[in-house]
Amino acid sequence: MEKFIRHEGLVVPLDRSNVDTDAIIPKQFLKLIKRSGFGPNLFDEWRYLDHGEPGMDNSRRTPNPNFVLNQARYQGASIFLARANFGCGSSREHAPWALQDFGFRAILAESFADIFFNNCFKIGLLPIVLPKAELDALFGLTEHTPGYRLTVDLPAQCVIRPDGHAITFEVDAFRKESLLNGWDEIGLTLRHAEKIRAFEERRRSEQPWLFAQGLH
Amino acid sequence: MAKTLYDKLWENHVVHTEEDGTALLYIDRHLVHEVTSPQAFEGLKLAGRKPWRPDSIVATADHNTPTWNWERGIEDPVSRQQVETLDANIGEYGALVYFPFRDKRQGIVHVIGPEHGATLPGMTVVCGDSHTSTHGAFACLAHGIGTSEVEHVLATQCLLQKKSKTLLIRVEGKVGAGVTAKDIALAIIGRIGTAGGTGYAIEFGGAAIRALSMEGRMTLCNMAIEAGARVGFVAVDQTTIDYLKGRPLAPQGELWDRAVAYWRTLVSDADARFDAVVEFDAARIVPQVTWGTSPEMVSGIDGAVPAPEDFSDPVKREGVARALDYMGLAPRTPIRQIPIDKVFIGSCTNSRIEDLRAAAAVAKGRHVASSVKQALVVPGSGLVRAQAEREGLDRIFIAAGFEWRQPGCSMCLAMNDDRLEPGERCASTSNRNFEGRQGAGGRTHLLSPAMAAAAAIAGHFADVRELS
Ligand code: SF4
């Protein structure tokens, strides 16, 4: 997993709520069996005027000039500003992969869908829940200030505006440690292998029906 | 201290707890399909690891598979590669059961699990698919997970989780004729919103839930994710136990009796406290139809599409305006006056035998309206399809002008050829009406199987209660 400590970057706002994972990365791209390269198809249906399919040369497609990610002032953005219930819908990790591949390191929103929120942490893309009033202000500032940038400081658990205003956020201690260190969670869990095995053996003797060996 | 069902399920699976409360939960059943597993198996391989317990895995190919012309195989090479990758991974690592493409028991992962007794009360069930909440119908803690977590479960048989708050949704009373689990689910989401369950584990209780069949409970729990909850479940009762008896992976003989005795404890204690409770009166729930691009944008069949100015919150108003624009609907259009182009009866929400029976009861002796371009019936599994054929449901559908297909996810998410063309409007028994979900530019209205059949016959939405 990619480490996250402190990040400073350009902000892009997407001012709608309930943005679902089908919108973030449409289903035709889920047929691919790789983990990277989804960035060019991030928000495919909103970003291009024509229909995209895997394997297409995206540089030859027609971008939708009205979509925020296509606007010149937001090129190179790495901090994503969103509204409520961001990432709702399917469990596809392709959605956070696409956001990360595009270049995003952090997403600020009023709320996130649960599975999406979880998936982001697994790859080192930091989802941050902020109060609505703070977000309203950030949307205004981003739209009215060309080149608006923010700093996300994970150790201090705050988002810092250029005017010095710092907005604190919550993050689980375990997740924070994992991000700061870029830990491999599987490796961490396997340190408890003995405990897992003991648990499993007890379960096998108490509820043997959970360990069926085949169809009968 | 009195415990909720959630507390019991949780405590039964904790292997280890970190200081901040993050727990390592043991996973009993791992459902695997072709779309969210390739990168997980690859990650496992790259790290030189092996699955911890292959006999916890139940796998099938469902998302990409075609629903007709099976003899031609999978023609789309990208889809075929994904399905072949699953074949290869299961071939290499093994599984408790695997139903590959074209197996007579193949089907949607959330249909085949319960159907084979692979989902048993008290289990933790995970799958790289958000609708894993379906299995909560069996008093399971059933989570949808992402691909990194699929790899984590493969490698360690555990999942890292934090305990949720508990929400009891109590639906008391009795639903009227023509009102189904799907209508209950949509009515709940209409009230609490698509983020209403975020951070909660939902237990569905009350007389109207007790009265539901297992199929109905699966429909309801399936939709829990659309209310934002990661898990939704129903306590064990006689209905649960009767459903499981004799299933191929359910225990038998003396083990069955021991299991049943344990399963009966999987209920919330009478005086258990929930963090939140929401009550519904079943008698007031009418057949539901969604009009927008989020499942919370829903109305009773007697209602009308709202207008953006009905909403005071500017973000919401803007969202409704955008949804109406996408859906090609004018404010205040009565739901019944909306004409449809296609009908889809299927998906892990509503493709079980009871769903097909309900749709066939409406279709029997009638015909799909000539304005409807296509009406698909896609059974949830090969076994559901075979059962329906034994009951003659296929002949009813075909005589009425429906297409009778092979099982799979099909037009629920349109990864195969079953899809909407831009601008087409569909009456769909699936679970998501997101933009482009059933095909780029397609317009989805969610409703129950009986209501979908009624819409197919009428050519527009119609109240199934008024069909004699
Ligand atoms: S039927 Fe639809 S919702 Fe269910 S598993 Fe398949 S794609 Fe997902």
> Does B131 sit in the ligand 1 pocket, CB within 6 Å?
yes
User: Taking each helix axis from N to C terminus, what angle separates A114-123 and B147-156, rounded to the nearest 10 degrees?
Assistant: 70
Tell me what the mean pLDDT of segment B337-350 comes to: 98
**Rounded CA separation B453/B8 (Å):** 41
Contact B15 A91 (CB under 8 A): no
> Does B437 sit in the ligand 1 pocket, CB within 6 Å?
no
Contact A17 B146 (CB under 8 A): no
Chain A touched by B331 (CB under 8 Å)? no
Tell me what the mean pLDDT of segment A5-22 comes to: 96
Q: Which of residues 130-169 of A touch B (CB under 8 A)?
A: none
Q: For residue range B124-171, what is the model confidence (pLDDT) as tens digits?
A: 999 999 999 999 999 999 999 999 999 999 999 999 999 999 999 999
> How far are the Cα atoms of A188, B76, B439 from residue B413, in angstroms, in the given order?
36, 16, 7
Distance between Cα A55 and ligand 1 center (Å): 24
Residue A128 exposure: Cα atoms within 13 Å on the Cβ side: 28
Specify the ligand 1 atom closest to the Cα of B380. Answer: 1
For chains A and B, count residue pairs whose Cβ atoms are closer than 8 Å. 211
Q: Which of residues 46-75 of A touch B (CB under 8 A)?
A: 51, 54-55
Q: What's the pLDDT at A22? A: 92
Residues whose CB is less than 8 angstroms from the CB of residue B203 and which lie 6 or more positions away in sequence, other chains included: B4, B5, B6, B166, B167, B168, B169, B232, B233, B234, B235, B268, B274
Mutate to test the pocket of ligand 1, among B348, B355, B429, B431 (most ligand atoms within 8 A of CB): B348
Distance between Cα B31 and ligand 1 center (Å): 13
Residue A46 exposure: Cα atoms within 13 Å on the Cβ side: 20
Q: What's the pLDDT at B421? A: 96
**Burial of residue B336, with CB atoms counted within 10 A of its CB: 0-12 exposed, 13-18 middle, 19 or more buried:** middle
- Report the sign of the C-alpha dihedral through residues B106, B107, B110, B115, in that order: negative
For B56, the token pair is 């916890």
**Rounded CA separation B133/B334 (Å):** 33
- Name the residue at shortest CA distance from atom 2 of ligand 1: B412
**pLDDT tops 90 at residue B1:** no
**Rounded CA separation B438/B76 (Å):** 18
DSSP string, B16-78: EE-TTS-EEEE-SEEEE-TTTSHHHHHHHHHTT---S-GGGEEEE--SS--SS-GGG---SHH
Taking CA atoms, what residue in A is nearest to B200?
Answer: A114
Q: For residue range A34-43, what is the model confidence (pLDDT) as tens digits?
A: 999 999 999 9
Best B80, B154, B194 residue to mutate vs chain A (most A CBs within 10 Å):
B194
- Name the residue at shortest CA distance from atom 4 of ligand 1: B348
**pLDDT tops 90 at residue B320:** yes
- Name the residue at shortest CA distance from atom 6 of ligand 1: B409
- Sheet of B443-446: strands edge to edge? B403-404, B374-377, B342-345, B425-428, B443-446
Q: Are B268 and B5 in contact (CB under 8 A)?
A: yes
Instruction: Grade residue B315 by pLDDT with cuts at 50, 70 and 90.
Output: confident
Q: For residue range A40-72, what is the model confidence (pLDDT) as tens digits?
A: 999 999 999 999 999 899 999 999 999 999 999
Q: Which of residues 146-185 of B touch A (CB under 8 A)?
A: 146-149, 151-152, 155-158, 160, 162
pTM score above 0.90: yes
> Does B412 sit in the ligand 1 pocket, CB within 6 Å?
yes
**pLDDT tops 80 at residue B468:** no
Contact B230 A196 (CB under 8 A): no
Q: What's the pLDDT at B55? A: 96
Residue B39: CB atoms within 10 A of its CB come to 24
- Sheet of B276-281: strands edge to edge? B231-233, B200-205, B165-172, B276-281
Chain A touched by B36 (CB under 8 Å)? yes
Instruction: Compute CA A172 distance to the chain's CA centroid, rounded to the nearest angstrom.
Output: 16
Tell me what the mean pLDDT of segment A180-190 comes to: 93
Taking CA atoms, what residue in B is nearest to A85?
Answer: B195
How many helices (H) and strands (E) chain A has is answered by: 8, 7
Chain A touched by B443 (CB under 8 Å)? no
**Chain B hits for A212, Cβ within 8 Å:** 55, 96, 249, 251
For B243, the token pair is 């459903």
Distance between Cα B345 and ligand 1 center (Å): 13
**Chain A hits for B262, Cβ within 8 Å:** 207
> Does B108 sit in the ligand 1 pocket, CB within 6 Å?
yes
CA distance A22 to chain B (A): 7
Taking alpha carbons only, the member of A28, A78, A32, A26 closest to residue A47 is: A26
CA distance A157 to chain B (A): 16
Q: For residue range B11-63, what is the model confidence (pLDDT) as tens digits?
A: 999 999 999 999 999 999 999 999 999 999 999 999 999 999 999 999 999 99
Q: For residue range B204-240, what is the model confidence (pLDDT) as tens digits?
A: 999 999 999 999 999 999 999 999 998 999 999 999 9
Q: Are B225 and B144 in contact (CB under 8 A)?
A: yes
Q: For residue range B122-136, what is the model confidence (pLDDT) as tens digits?
A: 999 999 999 999 999
For residues A92, A98, A101 and A104, what is the CA-based torsion angle, rounded to 10 degrees? Answer: -100
Taking CA atoms, what residue in B is nearest to A196?
Answer: B15
**pLDDT tops 90 at residue A216:** no
Q: For residue range B348-380, what is the model confidence (pLDDT) as tens digits?
A: 999 999 999 999 999 999 999 999 999 999 999
Residues whose CB is less than 8 angstroms from the CB of residue A137 and which lie 6 or more positions away in sequence, other chains included: none
Distance between Cα B129 and ligand 1 center (Å): 8
Contact B195 A172 (CB under 8 A): no
For A47, the token pair is 């970003």
Q: What's the pLDDT at A215? A: 75
DSSP string, A121-134: HHHT-EEEE--HHH
Taking CA atoms, what residue in A is nearest to B55?
Answer: A213
Residues whose CB is less than 8 angstroms from the CB of residue B321 and which lie 6 or more positions away in sequence, other chains included: B308
**Chain A hits for B408, Cβ within 8 Å:** none
The share of chain B scoring above pLDDT 90, in percent, equals 97
Tell me what the mean pLDDT of segment A152-172 comes to: 98
DSSP string, B206-255: SHHHHTS-HHHHHHHHHGGGGGT-SEEE----HHHHHHHTT-TTS--HHH
